[in-house]
Amino acid sequence: MSEDALVQLTNEIKACVACQLKENRTQVVPGVYGQSNGICFVGEAPGYYEDQKGLPFVGRSGKLLDNMLEGIGLERDDVSILNVIKCRPTTNERGNRTPTESELRFCGDRWLFKQLKLLNPRLIVTLGGIALKFFIPKAKVTKYVGKQHNTNYGLGIFVTYHPAYILRNYNIMETYNEHFEEIKKTLNSTTNETTHIHNTQSKSKSKQKSLSDFFKSD
């Protein structure tokens, strides 16, 4: 990976004024980068907290994502975390809204795709239906979830749920744990020296956490 190219691209993303989402954003959220040829999680779009901090997945969903990573021996810094959309889609100051199909295509093609080309991840994990839709427009999460799929972008993806969905449907936490185990297995089967999965036993700690743990600090 050319770090210079990634820095330059990130600066371009931060300065983007190409669509209407610039109007209501506090700041652009380009995403964070882990090791090259590593794992890359792709979510939908920044929400309120992400827009405030300029970082992806820092609200409740992000806490669950961190916990899931920890469960398979990874830390946030080990992985790349991106969104298809780089600015918070909102109708007013507090309310998030689902990005439109054209916002998804416009921002994803303009920025996410270029980030992925530079990062060259060994595994892309889509979080939820909107991220999946960017890669496979007609796909439904319920049909694609828990498996790897080829995409028109020439990139393979592993499809899992958005952490916000798990926070609302805690009964499928067991399945979510299985997906992260699968992600770990895939990474271990292709590990090289640039990626290190900490040699901890899988803790499946998230199973022991109650929902309230994720709601404490925000």
Beta-strand pair 156-160/148-150: antiparallel
Q: Is 66 in the site for ligand URA (CB under 6 A)?
A: no
Q: How many CB atoms lie within 10 A of CB 21?
A: 22
Q: What whole-number distance in Å separates Cα of residue 139 and Cα of residue 148?
A: 13
Q: How many residues does the chain have?
A: 218
Q: Is 50 in the site for ligand URA (CB under 6 A)?
A: yes
**Pattern 67-106, ligand URA, x by CB under 6 A:** ----------------x-----------------------
Q: What whole-number distance in Å separates Cα of residue 126 and Cα of residue 133?
A: 9
- Judged by CB under 6 A, the residue of 61, 90, 115, 160 near ligand URA is 61
Task: Write down the least CB distance from residue 160 to ligand URA, Å.
Answer: 12
CA 180 to chain centre: 13
Instruction: Give the number of residues in contact with ligand URA, rule: CB under 6 A.
Output: 10
- Amino acid, single-letter form, for residue 61: S
Q: Is 46 in the site for ligand URA (CB under 6 A)?
A: yes
Q: Tell me the sheet residues that pair with 80.
A: 40
- Judged by CB under 6 A, the residue of 13, 21, 45, 173 near ligand URA is 45
Task: List residues binding ligand URA (CB under 6 A).
Answer: 43-47, 50, 56-57, 61, 83
